[in-house]
Amino acid sequence: MTPLDRTIAPPIHHIQTLDLKAPENHTLANGIPVKLFRNSLLDLIHCTITVQAGSFFEPQKHVAAACFNLLKESHPHLTSSETDEALDTLGTSFSANTNLDTITLKLIVPKKNCREALALIGSFLCTPNFRKENLDIYKQHKIKDIEYKELNMGYRATQNMFRLMFNNDRPYSTILQTAHIESLTCEQLQFYHQIAFVSEKVKIYLTGNVDDEVWNAFRDMGEAIGEQKNEGRRTAKEEKQAWFSAHEPEKHYYEERTNAMQSALVLCKRSIGYQHPDRRDFHFLSTVLGGYFGSRLMQNLRERNGYTYGIYASSIYFGDASIFYIETDVNVAQTQAALQAINEDIALLIKHLVEDNEIETVRNYLSGIQLRFIENSVSYMNNYQLWDNLGADETEIALQIAAFRNITATHLQSLAAQYLLPQNFTTIIIGNK
């Protein structure tokens, strides 16, 4: 056998396609779908539970985040410190994250401790006892967090983006204030849990060395989740239809900060949904503009002009629409120059074709990102969960690679003219003009 010459780089080939194995599909007795990604080499079982009960669905500001972030402290019989000690003893972690549309609960459990750990977690997931002393501590920390974030101009810019884009008579379009936190009660959290954590809104994703014993433990925990009692509330579909404002947002919003050294800039607009036929090609265009370190905005505002340390363009997807945004922090003296530079880069994409070498660079970059999505069963499961939430499946990577391979400069220019017209953006400045 000829020894491998490690001084010679192996040949580089373009990714042609990726045919991913679909997860096993199961349905629990209460109707909860379970996607199982088997991995016989992984004895540390990873589980993600998504609940369609994020900020979009809450009846009052921040009740969703408070409800699910306090679950671990709300075991029906154990104190929060006793619960933490029990989880640590079992080598188990539990975390909750609140998004606009979903709550994401993540569990990591050693295979040998699944039965005991999931019985513990299931108790506070399904029958929490929200206690005033825990809520008071949560309020204290959250109020301090709000006071700190209020000083962060980037945070204020993002919050105002949501306020301007979304239906302004709903809690999620209101910027979080200390009064919202102070008004929370245990009764409100208990009520939201009853209407939100129900089987109709839950999906479970599971990966690891799942044998019959492990599966039965997760099944028992999942089937303990009750069914929804519809009391005249709007369906998820009806809720989604009310998310965005029916009116065009104002085109300019400015919030002055005296003695600010930097200004936070956000340019944003309502854009296409995840299932739109142009979505993958538009993602390619977005990456050319501001989606990676070598993007046009980074080269212009950071490398050539030194206006910022970083600038980024991306889309936030939910329902049948998205928000496309460009965000950065710049020196206050260069606020207007930075805005002009951003608009010039957008105009160039509309007026001129992207060169072939730039297309090839972005194509290689995005193809490499796709490989990172599936480098192991945990990353594959996590990305599948995001696709599933948006109506896609395991074919998503193959479809993206095909779209990136077939993209042309002419098509990118037409997309820019259709979706990036400067007059359609809302400009938000927090700091000084």
Segment 32-83, tens digit of pLDDT: 999 999 999 999 999 999 999 999 999 999 999 999 999 999 999 999 999 9
pLDDT at 432 over 90: no
Q: Using alpha carbons, select from 22, 46, 44, 24 the residue that is nearest to residue 35.
A: 24
Q: Specify the higher pLDDT residue, 16 or 214.
A: 214
pLDDT at 237: 56
Angle at 11 between CA 373 and CA 16, to 5 degrees: 45
How far is it, in rounded angstroms, from Cα 273 to Cα 270? 9
pLDDT at 230 over 60: no
Separation of first and last alpha carbons in the chain = 69
Segment 355-407, tens digit of pLDDT: 999 999 999 999 888 888 888 999 999 999 999 999 999 999 999 999 999 99
Residues 6+ apart with CB under 8 A from 228: 195, 198, 199, 200, 201
Segment 302-317, tens digit of pLDDT: 999 999 999 999 999 9
Question: What is the overall mean pLDDT for the chain?
Answer: 92
- CA–CA distances in Å: residue 118 to residues 78, 90, 213, 219, 323: 15, 10, 12, 10, 37
Confidence at 7, pLDDT banded by 50, 70, 90? confident
* Residue 100 Cα to chain centre, angstroms: 8
pLDDT at 171: 83
Angle at 108 between CA 107 and CA 109, to 5 degrees: 110
Q: For the sheet with 321-331, list strands across it.
A: 252-256, 426-431, 262-272, 321-331, 311-318
How far is it, in rounded angstroms, from Cα 422 to Cα 340? 11
pLDDT at 206 over 80: yes
pTM: 0.91
pLDDT at 16 over 90: no
pLDDT at 28: 97
pLDDT at 168: 76
Question: Phi/psi at 40 (nearest 5 deg)?
Answer: -65, -15
Residues 11-26 have a mean pLDDT of 82
pLDDT at 240: 62
How far is it, in rounded angstroms, from Cα 46 to Cα 269? 36
Alpha-carbon torsion 391, 228, 67, 123, what sign?
negative
Segment 125-178, tens digit of pLDDT: 999 999 999 999 999 999 999 999 988 999 999 999 999 998 777 888 889 999
How far is it, in rounded angstroms, from Cα 41 to Cα 208? 7
Percent of the chain with pLDDT over 90: 82
Segment 84-119, tens digit of pLDDT: 999 999 999 999 999 999 999 999 999 999 999 999
For the chain, how are helix, strand and coil distributed in percent, rounded to 5?
45, 20, 35
Confidence at 235, pLDDT banded by 50, 70, 90? low
Confidence at 13, pLDDT banded by 50, 70, 90? confident
Confidence at 5, pLDDT banded by 50, 70, 90? confident
pLDDT at 243: 79
Delineate the domains of the chain, giving CATH numbers in brackets: 24-240 (3.30.830.10), 252-431 (3.30.830.10)
Give the pair of three-digit tokens for residue 236.
């998820």
Q: Is 189 left (phi over 0), alpha (psi -120 to 50) or beta?
A: alpha
pLDDT at 241 over 80: no
How far is it, in rounded angstroms, from Cα 64 to Cα 52? 11
Q: Using alpha carbons, select from 425, 242, 249 the residue that is nearest to residue 319.
A: 242
Q: Which amino acid is at 139?
A: K
* Residue 336 Cα to chain centre, angstroms: 30
140: helix, strand or coil = helix
- Can you tell me which residue has the tokens 């400015």? 254
pLDDT at 167: 79
pLDDT at 322 over 70: yes
Segment 256-299, tens digit of pLDDT: 998 889 999 999 999 999 999 999 999 999 999 999 999 999 99
Least confident range from 225-239, 248-262, 377-391: namely 225-239
Q: Specify the higher pLDDT residue, 238 or 245.
A: 245
pLDDT at 234: 56
